[in-house]
Chains A and B, each alone.
Chain A
Amino acid sequence: MTRNKYFIKQLSIFSENKSGRLAAVAKVFEESKVNIHAFSIAEANSFGVVRAIVDKPELAFDAFSKQNYALQYTDVLGIKMNDVPGGLYHVANLLGSIGINIEYAYAFRTGTFGTLIVKVSSPEDAVEKILAAGLELVPATDYNF
């Protein structure tokens, strides 16, 4: 079994933190007909990184590159959470107990369950540990087509 079937391709796009920039980023997705599954923004005073999980990451990457954006693919993992109170606690608690260090995380809901997107320092190891701990990972093909 290959572990990287769980590596979801996140787009990390450099963006200045000023009015109109978010709309500009969103417009590139819209124009390239790329659908966004999940989206978050991390800021450090004047600038930030827009993180997006999309259906066609390569298409989006090309569209942003053509418009001179600085962007990069980042491998992230999607952990299934029960869509009930305590769902996040259960996952977070387990991750802590098996020693997974999370650089950042954000969550969204699809259908009947929630997904916690996590960026970890070594995803290969993390996949193994997470599965061994009995958590369920979402295959990348569920998001990136």
Chain B
Amino acid sequence: MFWNEKMETLRGKELQELQLKRLKETVARTQNIGFYQKMFAEAGIRPEDIKTLDDLSKIPFTKKADLRGGYPFGFLAVPMSRINRIHTTSGTTGKPTVVAYTKNDLNSWSELIARNLTMVGLREGDMFQNASNYSLFTGGLGFHYGAERIGCAVVPAGVGNTKRQIEMIQDFGVNAIHCTPSYAMHLTEVAEDMHANLDSLRIGVFGAEAWSENMRRDLENRLNIKAYDSYGMSELFGPGVAFECPEQDGLHIWHDCYIVEIIDPKTGEVLPAGEKGEMVVTPLVKEAMPLLRYRTGDITMLMEDDCPCGRGQKIARLFGRSDDMLTVRGINVFPSQIEHVLKNIPEVGDQFMVYIDRVNHLDEMTIDVEINKHLFSGELSDLARLQNKIGKALHETLTLRANVQLVEPGSLPRFEGKAKRVVDRRTI
């Protein structure tokens, strides 16, 4: 079922015409912003030079640091009197980034969330528990208004008090929940301890952090739900930019509202479908804060195959952040790819470390892997076999040879918070 069938399935010439019309409007709006006036002048382009979708490539990228430089309201394209809401995103360094919305922006955003929730099976009359932060974080209010839009009964549960959250699901008969995947895991564990009956729950919508297919299977089995991945970022409204459909194989990004490009994060070169790179997004319906070619820092790819559900081209689930990307012998490598390979080999333990060295002008990648002590056979020959198996699996995925070292359980560093598993020892 569709929320807005025409827009969700728009493709070919019709889609391109709409995108071009909206791109021109967006470019015109950006000319109210000092940053973009300067950018166009420096790049030697005028708004009227954008005549086709291909002309988009003439425009330089906008980076997160540019937005921070405009703190607080330097990127507004409309007078403050037209602003209806303000959110901020916490930066890891320095000042937050401020995002603002007109009435139309809030409407467009709710419409996108309504599409997503309808796509995964929510309907008028369903009860939706929004276990998400309701303050400056966009995940709370974003989902709240979107779920209200399709006629759900929304429980604005917010974060914390897990026992109370579980009681509400059980006592109210909640059908769907939105939260971060890690909170969903915690909630699952507590619910199991409480022997709670969560039979009414059918759908889980999880986002705002990376989560694996293993975690999906775990959540689906233990909560007896379908779990869907949600993608968004405040600069592009918030959650709802892209979302999984019931196929659970990639995320539909709404092409009538966002132009997607995948680039090589090092060179800026635009990559074809099927190749991994950094996603660059040009939002097409943002009024208060229009952006052009915004570098998301997220690594994904455009998928080549059509989706049976009839909606447009999908992006793959995220592979990681471009800041984490390594270039080894000219090949782009993400620590998440290594992690994925290792997680699928049972004889491998929990931890690994990656070291990059330059030996005789050549990059060498060494990966220390803890063995799983529960599957140690006692035989040296099995260890040698395991070492080869890991090396082969890594080579297949990375198209790069790595020197694999098996190390003792517990010998590698443990990390609290964000793991730093890569040590680049190259000196240029």
Interface residues of A (CB under 8 A from B): 12, 14-16, 42-44, 46-49, 68-74, 103
Contacts and interface: CB of A to CB of B under 8 A. Distances in A.
A28 to B, nearest CB: 12
Contact of A69 (B372, B381, B387, B408): B408
Contact of A68 (B377, B383, B410): B410
B378 A71 contact: yes
Given A16-B411, A70-B409, A47 B376 contact: no
B65 interface: no
A51 B353 CA distance: 28
A12 B408 contact: no
B43 interface: no
B383 A47 contact: yes
Nearest to A119: B379
20 contacts: A12-B379, A14-B371, A14-B376, A14-B383, A14-B406, A15-B408, A42-B380, A44-B380, A46-B405, A47-B383, A47-B405, A47-B406, A68-B373, A69-B409, A70-B376, A70-B409, A71-B378, A72-B376, A74-B379, A103-B381
A16 B408 contact: yes
B383 A69 contact: no
Contact of A70 (B381, B384, B387, B408): B408
A68 B409 contact: yes
Nearest to B374: A70
Interface size range of chain B in the complex? 10 to 19
Given A44-B383, A47-B383, A49-B379, A70 B373 contact: yes
B7 interface: no
B407 interface: yes
Nearest to B366: A46
Interface of B: 371-373, 376-381, 383-384, 387, 405-411
Contact of B380 (A16, A49, A73): A49
Contacts of B379: 12, 49, 74, 103
Nearest to A68: B410
Contacts of B408: 14-16, 68-70
B374 to A, nearest CB: 8
Nearest to A24: B408
A68 B377 CA distance: 15
A121 to B, nearest CB: 11
Q: Which of B380, B384, B387, B406 has the most CB of A within 10 A?
A: B380
A12 B372 CA distance: 15
A46 B373 contact: no
B380 A72 contact: no
A72 B380 CA distance: 12
Contacts of B411: 16
B406 A72 contact: no
B378 A74 contact: yes
Contact of B378 (A12, A43, A48): A12
A47 B407 contact: yes
A100 B150 CA distance: 75
A69 B370 CA distance: 11
A108 to B, nearest CB: 19
B405 A71 contact: no
Given A16-B406, A16-B407, A70-B409, 14 more contacts: A12-B379, A14-B383, A14-B408, A42-B380, A44-B387, A49-B378, A49-B380, A49-B383, A68-B373, A70-B373, A71-B376, A72-B377, A73-B378, A103-B379
Contacts of B387: 44
Q: Which of A12, A16, A47, A68 has the most CB of B within 10 A?
A: A47
